[in-house]
Amino acid sequence: MVSAPALADDLDDQQSDLQNQLQQSDQAIDSHHAELDAATAEVVNSRQALADAQATLAKAQSDRDAAQAVDAQKAADLESAEQELTDAQSAVSLGKDAVEAQQAKAANDMRVAHQQNTGMLSLGMLFVDGQDAGSVSSRVQWASTLYNANSNELNRLTELQLQLQNAQTEMATLEDGARVAREAAAAQLSVTQAAEQAADDAAGQVAGLVAANEAAEANAAQILADERAANESMQAEMDSVTQQIQERNERRAAEAAAAAAAAQAAAEAQAAADAQAAADAQAAADAQAAADAAAQQAEQQSWSDDSYSGDSYYEEPAAQAAPAPAASSSGFPLYMPANGPYTSPFGWRTNPVLGYSELHDGTDIGAACNTPVYAAASGTVTQAIPEGSSGGWGNRVVLDNGVIDGVAVSTGYNHMTNYIVGVGQSVSRGEVIGYIGTTGLSTGCHLHFHVWIDGNVSDAAPYL
């Protein structure tokens, strides 16, 4: 008789396991939420830095505009200074011409005075004999006028020379001022242009940082979305497998119950038949004994001494042995599903792809891609799912291996490069069903091997 598994307990345990896995997935989603929040904070900070850099750039541009205004003023001052210099140069030129003319005029007047000897008259000459007082007075007045004229010319010449000297000095000052103005304007413009370029470069760098942080934020959001999608898909896939196993177990339990009832009915019928046969045999034996006794008595009463009646013997039928129960062939240990070492055991670990702690619900066997994958026990293919529909398990096969040593067993083979069996196909223990790969959520070539015992995902190591 095949015993039915304790389905209610199995379902409760499986529900508890699934709740634990969902809790871990929720924690992973919370972790990715934190990463997204951190990335968003970085974006906010970099945007603030960009605003600061743009403010610095605006200040530099304002300084540049002010410097350009100063430069324009300096240019105007330079133009004015150059105009004043031009005017001064003209004044100097005119002054030189005036001095030269005055010098020529003074020289000519002095020459005329010398020729007439009027400038050398002595007082005695003013009172020569034969001259009256009026004539002398006229001579004195003429000499004084000539002297004053010459003196005025000399003063005018001196004044013009001083004006020329002042004009030359002012011209030199203006030339120096114009040079200083040109140098200051050039230096100021160079500094402000450099500041503007530096501020523009800083703004460009910060804008690049903002773009990078926004990309990181988008990437974190995408990772979170992918994790949620993978979580939902894997959850749906696990629910589907669990549902199939549960339905199979229920079906087997019903079949086992029916078989047990039939066996019980057959046993009861056989017992009734055996009891009836024993009663019939006993009745026949009693009848035979009575007949023998009667015959013996009759023989004793017979007058013929030569007659002989032989004894009759009744043998009870041997009890029929109960049929021995059919021995179920043991499938444990399971056939090694791939040739390679264990690279990650069943249990809690940090997911190598998503980076958070979770229950690793299978046993990883490391081997090169395209290494054969074998059926761990004979059974029927219940699932053969391509990578795009398996929710992160890659190319996946699930086998219903039947009841082994009193427990219902199913096995799963994940991340294969490809599989070579189809749903409903029967496979034998050790038969090649596919090839190792790294499809789905995988970081390298390996087989993720699942074992379900009575509907609960279990550590495969004790059964291999």
Q: In the predicted model, is pLDDT for residue 303 greater than 50?
A: no
pLDDT band with cut points at 50, 70 and 90 for residue 310: very low
What the block records as the tokens of 271 is: 């017992």
Residue-wise pLDDT for 201-237, tens only, equals: 988 888 898 899 899 999 989 988 888 888 788 778 7
**Comparing C-alpha atoms, which of 358, 341, 376, 391 is closest to residue 451?**
376
Mean pLDDT throughout 322-338?
62
Please classify residue 268 by burial: count the beta carbons closer than 10 Å to its beta carbon, then call 0-12 exposed, 13-18 middle and 19+ buried.
exposed
Distance CA 161, CA 155 (A): 10
pLDDT at 318: 37
Q: pLDDT tier at 312 (50, 70, 90 boundaries)?
A: very low
Residue found by looking up tokens 């013997």 in the block:
313
| Per-residue pLDDT tens over the stretch 149-181 | 667 877 887 888 888 888 888 888 878 887 887
